[in-house]
Amino acid sequence: MGIMRFPRNNRMIVALTVFACLGLIPSYSVVQSFFSPLRARLTADELARLYNKDVPTEPVRVEMGRRSKEADVAVYLVPNGTNKVFLDCGANTASSVQLFRDTYPDGRDYVIHSFEIDERLKPYFRAYRNHHLHCPVGVAAEYGNVTAYLESVWGPNKGLNNGRDMQWGGGTFYAELAEIQDKETGGKRKLSTRRVIPTIDLAQWIKDNFSIQDYIILKLDVEGAEFNVLQRMLQTGALKYIDKLYGEYHNSQPTGWSQRDKNQLVLDVGEAGFTLQDWEADKHTYRDFEKIHPPELPVNTPGVAGDVYSLCQPGSISLAVAIGMNYKRAHKVISTLQAYPTPLPLTLFLYGDFVEQFPDTVSAWARRFRIGIREDGDYTGPYLEMMPKNLIRRSLVSSLMRLRELGLKTAYYWPAVNGSVLARFKPLAKTRGLRIIQPTADFPHRLGMKLTRENYYRYRDVERVPRALRLIQDRLTESNGGILGLDSDVPDTYMIAVFLMDYLVQNSNFRLVEVENCVQEVAPAVNKGFDIWEPKHKK
């Protein structure tokens, strides 16, 4: 649970605290209990270097004597009924809102307050519910008004921003003299737009609007304003309201703070029990991403995480359907297969976005069929092939979380890529505990490459059916079975559905099996899971 180390003579206190976190000592309140601070193991300068974003350093464990809410309350132990709040300070283009909603445990249950100083970015927040935008409003140590130096509008002749070709979409309260004087271009950071905007005393605002019993995550990425804000929170006790602290110390900003004072503030925040953990929404990650997203598999899941499975025991076939984002077509295909007189061992692979939009349908399907995942949404092939590593990871986690919100887990992933590109996806699937499914016969995608207007598409539906079935039959015969994949978004899948099942059940001599039989028979292995997930076949 991320518990900090304590000297030997405090072990009993630590044990009692752990029991309290688990609810074994109901009368003891961890959140409101604080120990006498002990001497930190790092000097102020050493601690500051650890968090100085301008100097790469190796991570160092900071051992403190005061327990924090951050250490006591693991994210997955937030009690039901607790008010959960995410304070997004330095909200930019709503990238943190999106990352939090997509990937943070129970992130959709949090009320989000976003503070942004550039009012031109307001449209980015319109799409989000259970969200409060404060824009243009800056967070500070006092209520008042201040000049915000904002990035200029992009144009082909804008030039480099601080030496980089980027549009970072934001601003700061702290500008160099040369930047202030250069009203035309805004200097090296292109801060040519100036606005006088209101600020709030964030510490007082938190105390006025929340209670210490609320579970509050504070993300503080405010281009230098964090020094005044955190100092004020320490002075007023507002930091006791915070459970987790994300953000960044901007040591290069011309804030007027001496390096010695900055170092001391970092130490003071550490003594209060907090570290400012990295939150990098533009890189689709945060410091404890892996820690709070451990693999969660159905119990006794066969196969090996990250391995690719296409074949089954000779003479066996497993049916898989890639569910697209077209609900009408998906509903027709699955309803047709569900109505087939013989119960079919079928695995449905779903986008995370589909699960989010149609939860009742997915829950109903899961009572009858196996469930696997695709990516979180329907990406074009070229984009998916070039997708950054962290975005792939985010996509997988988002899809798994959408299933988890329905009480479902899976260990099967059908990526929308194959060939050499798949090598980039395998280690990320492995980290999530996922077995990769790549159908032997994939209609119409890989098999469809053999279909042309002359030999297929110019014909009527009734004439295309045998051509499609023959193509599938030839591939299955060649491989002596395997995983057969269909795509619900393709109209021809619905067109051939019943005829294909008739062939497989009545005339093919193939044995229809669940997908785990293929995985188990090809590479037998048993991984421990967390619960039993066993959809039942019901007519």
What local confidence, expressed as pLDDT, does residue 521 receive?
53
CA–chain centroid gap for 78, Å, is 19
Query: Other C-beta atoms within 10 Å of 294: how many?
Result: 11
What local confidence, expressed as pLDDT, does residue 166 receive?
72
Stated as kind and residue range, the H or E segment containing 193 is: strand 193-201
Tell whether 45 is covered by a domain.
no
Tell whether 50 is covered by a domain.
no
* pLDDT, tens digit, 9 for 90 and up, residues 382-402: 898 899 999 999 999 999 999
What local confidence, expressed as pLDDT, does residue 57 receive?
27
Domain that holds residue 135: 75-286
Tell whether 67 is covered by a domain.
no
Residues 221 and 352 occupy one common structural domain: no
Residues 455 and 350 occupy one common structural domain: yes
Can you give the CATH number for the domain in which 432 is found? 3.20.20.370
Residues 279 and 319 occupy one common structural domain: no
CA distance 55 to 175: 21
CA distances to 28, 32, 72, 165, 278 from 2, in Å: 20, 18, 8, 39, 16
Query: Other C-beta atoms within 10 Å of 208: how many?
Result: 10
Tell whether 7 is covered by a domain.
no
CA distance 306 to 425: 8
What local confidence, expressed as pLDDT, does residue 222 receive?
96
Burial of 282 (0-12, 13-18, 19+ CB in 10 A): middle
pTM for the whole thing?
0.81
Domain boundary among 286, 317, 352: 286
Residues 192 and 330 occupy one common structural domain: no
Strands annotated E in 202-243: 215-220
What local confidence, expressed as pLDDT, does residue 82 receive?
84
Residue ranges in the chain modelled with pLDDT below 70:
1-77, 447-448, 521-539
CA distance 193 to 209: 32
Joined tokens for residue 8: 């030997």
What local confidence, expressed as pLDDT, does residue 441 receive?
94
Domain boundary among 237, 253, 286: 286
136 preceded by a cis bond (ω within 30 of 0)? yes
What local confidence, expressed as pLDDT, does residue 448 receive?
66
Domain boundary among 261, 286, 311: 286
CA distance 374 to 322: 8
* pLDDT, tens digit, 9 for 90 and up, residues 99-132: 999 999 999 999 999 999 999 999 999 999 999 9
What local confidence, expressed as pLDDT, does residue 282 receive?
93
Tell whether 335 is covered by a domain.
yes
75-114: buried (b, 16+ CB within 10 Å) or exposed (e) per residue?
A: beebeeeeebbbbbbbbbbbbbbbbbbbbbeebbebebbb
Q: At what angle do helices 259-271 and 226-236 cross, to 10 degrees?
A: 40
Residues 282 and 309 occupy one common structural domain: no
Residues 133 and 167 occupy one common structural domain: yes
475-509: buried (b, 16+ CB within 10 Å) or exposed (e) per residue?
A: bbeebebbbbbbbbebebbbbbbeebbebbeeebe
CA distance 94 to 90: 9
Residues 203 and 338 occupy one common structural domain: no
Q: Identify the DSSP state of 416.
A: S
Residues 122 and 229 occupy one common structural domain: yes
Tell whether 270 is covered by a domain.
yes
Q: Taking the CA of residue 417 as centre, how many other CA atoms within 13 Å lie in the half-sphere pointing to its CB?
A: 20
Domain count, the chain: 2
Q: Identify the DSSP state of 192.
A: -
Q: With beta carbons less than 8 A apart as the criterion, state whether 243 and 69 touch.
A: yes
Residues 222 and 371 occupy one common structural domain: no
Residues 358 and 503 occupy one common structural domain: yes
Query: Other C-beta atoms within 10 Å of 532: how many?
Result: 9
Residues 281 and 341 occupy one common structural domain: no
Tell whether 42 is covered by a domain.
no
Residues 343 and 282 occupy one common structural domain: no
Q: With beta carbons less than 8 A apart as the criterion, state whether 430 and 305 touch.
A: yes
Place of tokens 């996922």: 434
The letter for the amino acid at 331 is: H
What local confidence, expressed as pLDDT, does residue 503 receive?
97
CA distance 337 to 19: 51
Tell whether 361 is covered by a domain.
yes
Query: What contacts 322, CB < 8 A, 6 or more positions away?
Result: 349, 374, 414, 416, 485, 486, 487, 488, 489
Joined tokens for residue 360: 């009742």
CA distance 59 to 54: 14
Joined tokens for residue 347: 């695995």
Q: With beta carbons less than 8 A apart as the criterion, state whether 103 and 352 touch.
A: no
SS (H, E, C) 371-404: EEECCCCCCCHHHHHHCCHHHHHHHHHHHHHHHH
What local confidence, expressed as pLDDT, does residue 27 receive?
31
Please tell me whether residue 123 adopts helix, strand or coil conformation.
Answer: helix
